[in-house]
Structure 1
Amino acid sequence: MTEATATIGLTGLAVMGRNLARNIARHGHTIAVHNRTHARTESLIADHGDEGDFVATESLEDFVAAIEKPRVVLVMVKAGDPTDAVIDDLVPLLEEGDIVVDCGNAHFADTIRREKQLEEHGLHFVGTGVSGGEEGALNGPSIMVGGSDQAYERLGPILESIAAQVDGEPCCAHVGTGGAGHFVKMVHNGIEYADMQLIAESYDLLRSIGDLEPAAIADVFADWNGGELESFLIQMTADVLRHTDAGGQPFVDVVRDAAEQKGTGRWTVQSALDLGVPITGIAEATFARSLSGHTDQRAAARKVFSTSPEDDTVEVDRDAFVDDVRAALYSSKVVAYAQGFDQIAVGAETHGWDIDLGQVAKIWRDGCIIRARFLGRITEAYADEPDLTTLLTTEFFAEAVKEGVDAWRHVVATAAQGGVPVPAFGSSLSYFDGLRRERLPAALIQALRDNFGAHTYQRVDREGTFHTAWAGDLSESEQH
């Protein structure tokens, strides 16, 4: 029999799992490791066995037996059917009170389903979002933990010790029960989609209209990273734009312009539709990736609608335009984060999760892909007003948007004149304008719905629900 000496176990030793296992071992935890293909386990031990206490196991039975009770098993395999397969193999080997932790990019609905299934066996199932990519997994990710309070008592101290740290606080928290961990991670990824699209649109504007080369744009982003836009993605953008390939060309010019996605952006948009939350910036960012991949349609359109470069030329003051793009980027980022936190709030209410939005912002300050300076401001905003209606109305962000709105409008208008697509900038500005308008044209939409489908309407001058006899004498009747 294998002796139970490991504090925790991890199965699935692809890059993320391998790095997370190393991180755990480095922090003084004895970890049992397992992979379906044993060669990966052997490789981990051969390359990094001196970094901490690893218990290498070949069979799943030996793996489970090596973990102290109540066992904590981290699963780091591909989301979907592969995760279900691993869980199905694990369950017969586990005992009541053991904890299975899915650290992959699972859909939160799958997490809710799996939690119920394992509860029938007396097991805890914990959906956990881990953000930060390969580097974060190794050196300190941001960790969003779901599941039961009881499971977190056993699991939390380990994960908090390996997470990124800010001001002595771990970027790890029990964000809520059930599927809350994976839900928050899903929205994080949706915000990431918007953030990256806004950055890409900024680059395109600076190059297409500002007539700057990638190396010069890299300098612009590096400069922006020294101010309120400071973030991991802004710094990374400067690094990518400064890079040249072996032939001396800007690296960005040799990369095929078709962005891929693994599904979390789509899940975020689908969930928002179900919840009735308008996350327009995230949605447009997701659709922009889809459009980039429709290369045949794009080629066909270019043949029909091609224009000479002179047709779309717009004259701008370059320095002023650079500053306008910066202001537009910041305002649009505020909208993206505001929409994401709106979705988390409504999702928490719908599913009965007690999610502290300020705490979410706090654990996103480091370790994750969207880590940014202004997440500290978001933390403060929710600390001051836990029931905040929207981030856009807080004093700090409201002032920032007010200061930047003219530049924002100028950038979107200039992009339209120059034929440069800015779906995320444009939709974010429209969302902002929609929020602040006293009257929206939705009144006409509702009147039309009543006309063709008797869907009724409400009035601004008195209570009640009404219908007009559009096909008859146009009389109005109150509906009960």
Structure 2
Amino acid sequence: MQQAEIGLIGLAVMGSNLALNIAEKGNRIAVFNRSPDKTRTFYAEAGALQDRIVPCESLEAFVAAIRPPRPVIIMVKAGDPVDELIATLRNYLSEGDIIIDAGNANFRDTIARFKGLEGSGLTFIGMGVSGGEEGARHGPSIMVGGTEESWKRVEPVLTSIAAKYKDDPCVAWLGENGAGHFVKTIHNGIEYADMQMIAEIYGLLRDGLGYSAKACSEVFSLWNTRRLNSYLIEISETVLAATDPVTGQAMVDVIVDKAGQKGTGKWSAIEALNLGIPATAIEAAVAARSLSSFKTKRMDAEAILGLPGTGRIAGDADAFVADLELALLAGKIGAYAQGFAVMAEASREFGWSLPMPTIARIWRAGCIIRSQFLDEITSAFTAMPDADNLIVTPAFAAMVQETDGALRRVVASAALAGLPVPALASALAYFDTYRRGRGTANLIQAQRDFFGAHGFDRIDGLDKHHGPWGSGLADF
């Protein structure tokens, strides 16, 4: 029997959809699940794709069904289950075989797994996959980290199943060990920021202007035909237009305002802090999700403190909606600029040589943050691949200047009305801080030197690094 090109372990929703995608694109795939019943059900429901699927009920049969060197995708819960499965697979795989973790793994765990396999003859790929269930089934964005040799073995299969943007496959090898999973983590951090900013705009429309969910949907529908065209704007339009079949109300109005999170947004904020790179929009979005979970505490606080401000936006509603569109564009620029800055620093820190234009390119389709905006980022980084920050590239500098006034008016109006916009406000503060040649950290340095003798540099360059604080005169 013809051997499979690739294998996959773990037939839950994402694994099943990815396996069907692989088979549908003409690749023969072996599949295994810890529960044989799950494997049988998956195969029975594969329909016309059964000819390209080899269902296996033992790991021995599974490994034998794949052409060496064997690439094996594992789609199991992140953390200990991955390590347990790797330990088991080491008893069955042979030299040159490749274990591919396609889950949402912490890139530091991925690096540790690479090191753990050193000397075993096996190699590892940490593969970020974005696009959710639909993307897994019909074409995700794929971020690969591993050796170039292992990438070459799986490149034909991964290229065939990836999303396509104008026939350009949204998959790339990004570097060694944890590079792929790190880029996926930052993708998710940007996703958090993007979703939070959209929610803040929705809140200003709903609470600041009194718009119904349907009216909000119509606003997003219009914006999706212009520069904000994106998957997240598109689905926001759809969910805001949906009706609850039980109550007849707008679906969004019967959903409890508590947002869940699985950890990748938090990881991206933590890694930005570890690297010393500001990612304030991502941090604000993570904090906002955490605050959303305090539903009972928030209700109690409202009863005690009341709501600040008027709750309504004064002035011309149509002009404010026009400002909201530009403010959201500005906020997105800030979030993406921060995310790419974090990746650039990680590339230097871990020796990955992450290709920024390529990352923007493979996010243009398939992934959750896909948008026409990414085509502009691709062009900007292609023209200036070593730019210190996205916002200083010519195209984006012009956009920052164009949207500055609108973002400023929106944040100010929200503050006066008592409506929270933490991510949009953080983007404004980021722009104002990044663009200011002389800030206020000179006072912080003086304070640090006063209480801890940490020293400082002088504007005039003199070799005197302490001030005349207290009873002593330090360098003087």
TM-score, with normalisation over the residues of structure 2?
Answer: 0.97
Verify the 8 A CA contact 2:73 2:102 in the aligned structure 1: yes
Find the residue that maps to 1:248 and give its secondary structure. Answer: coil
Q: Distance in 1 between matches of 2:195 and 2:428?
A: 17
- The residue identity in structure 2 corresponding to 1:8 is I
Match of 1:72 in 2: 71
- The residue identity in structure 2 corresponding to 1:264 is T
461-470 or 62-71: bigger deviation = 461-470
Match of 2:18 in 1: 20
Verify the 8 A CA contact 2:330 2:399 in the aligned structure 1: yes
Q: Distance in 1 between matches of 2:299 and 2:278?
A: 32
- The residue identity in structure 1 corresponding to 2:253 is D
Verify the 8 A CA contact 1:210 1:316 in the aligned structure 2: no
Find the residue that maps to 1:312 and give its secondary structure. Answer: coil
Q: Distance in 1 between matches of 2:120 and 2:221?
A: 53
Q: What is the CA deviation profile of residues 165-209 of structure 1, one whole-angstrom value per residue up to 9, with x for unaligned ones?
A: 112211000011110000000000000000000000000001111
Q: What is the CA deviation profile of residues 123-182 of structure 1, one whole-angstrom value per residue up to 9, with x for unaligned ones?
A: 110000000000000000000000000001101111011001112211000011110000
Q: Distance in 2 between matches of 1:185 and 1:303?
A: 41
Q: CA deviation at 1:474?
A: 2.9
Q: Could you tell me which runs of 5 or more consecutive residues in structure 2 were left unpaired when the two chains were aligned.
A: none
Match of 1:187 in 2: 186
Match of 1:296 in 2: 296
Match of 2:275 in 1: 275
The 1:458/1:419 distance shift into structure 2, 3 A limit, reads same
Match of 2:28 in 1: 30
Find the residue that maps to 2:175 and give its secondary structure. Answer: coil
Q: Distance in 2 between matches of 1:79 and 1:334?
A: 31
Find the residue that maps to 1:466 and give its secondary structure. Answer: coil
Verify the 8 A CA contact 2:310 2:418 in the aligned structure 1: no
Verify the 8 A CA contact 1:210 1:321 in the aligned structure 2: no
Verify the 8 A CA contact 2:100 2:126 in the aligned structure 1: yes
Verify the 8 A CA contact 2:310 2:416 in the aligned structure 1: no
Match of 2:251 in 1: 251
Find the residue that maps to 2:314 and give its secondary structure. Answer: coil
- The residue identity in structure 2 corresponding to 1:297 is K
Q: CA deviation at 1:92?
A: 1.2
Verify the 8 A CA contact 2:230 2:372 in the aligned structure 1: yes
Match of 1:108 in 2: 107
Match of 2:320 in 1: 321
Q: How many residues align?
A: 474
Q: Distance in 1 between matches of 2:208 and 2:350?
A: 46
Q: Distance in 2 between matches of 1:43 and 1:65?
A: 22
- The residue identity in structure 2 corresponding to 1:176 is G
Match of 2:400 in 1: 401
Verify the 8 A CA contact 2:335 2:427 in the aligned structure 1: yes
The 1:338/1:311 distance shift into structure 2, 3 A limit, reads closer
Find the residue that maps to 2:466 and give its secondary structure. Answer: strand
Verify the 8 A CA contact 2:207 2:311 in the aligned structure 1: no
283-292 or 113-122: bigger deviation = 113-122
TM-score, with normalisation over the residues of structure 1?
Answer: 0.97
Match of 2:437 in 1: 438
Q: CA deviation at 1:4?
A: 6.7
Q: Could you tell me which runs of 5 or more consecutive residues in structure 1 were left unpaired when the two chains were aligned.
A: none
2:176 is aligned with 1:172: no
- The 5-angstrom pairing of residues 49-128 of structure 1 reads 49-51=47-49, 52-128=51-127
Q: Distance in 2 between matches of 1:434 and 1:315?
A: 28
Q: Distance in 1 between matches of 2:371 and 2:462?
A: 46
- The residue identity in structure 2 corresponding to 1:203 is Y
- The residue identity in structure 2 corresponding to 1:319 is D
Verify the 8 A CA contact 2:464 2:475 in the aligned structure 1: no
Q: Distance in 2 between matches of 1:4 and 1:299?
A: 62
- The 5-angstrom pairing of residues 397-436 of structure 1 reads 397-436=396-435
10-19 or 315-324: bigger deviation = 315-324
Find the residue that maps to 1:476 and give its secondary structure. Answer: coil
The 1:326/1:23 distance shift into structure 2, 3 A limit, reads same
Q: What is the CA deviation profile of residues 249-283 of structure 1, one whole-angstrom value per residue up to 9, with x for unaligned ones?
A: 11111111010100000100110111000000000
Verify the 8 A CA contact 2:96 2:123 in the aligned structure 1: yes
Q: CA deviation at 1:468?
A: 2.4
60-69 or 358-367: bigger deviation = 60-69
Verify the 8 A CA contact 1:209 1:316 in the aligned structure 2: no
Verify the 8 A CA contact 1:119 1:125 in the aligned structure 2: no
Find the residue that maps to 2:470 and give its secondary structure. Answer: coil
CA-atom RMSD, angstroms?
A: 1.3
Verify the 8 A CA contact 2:131 2:367 in the aligned structure 1: yes
Q: Distance in 2 between matches of 1:394 and 1:443?
A: 28
Match of 2:389 in 1: 390
Match of 2:212 in 1: 213
Q: Distance in 2 between matches of 1:119 and 1:44?
A: 34
2:453 is aligned with 1:454: yes
Q: CA deviation at 1:469?
A: 4.6
Find the residue that maps to 1:361 and give its secondary structure. Answer: helix
Verify the 8 A CA contact 1:210 1:322 in the aligned structure 2: no
- The residue identity in structure 1 corresponding to 2:402 is E
Find the residue that maps to 1:74 and give its secondary structure. Answer: strand
- The residue identity in structure 1 corresponding to 2:465 is F
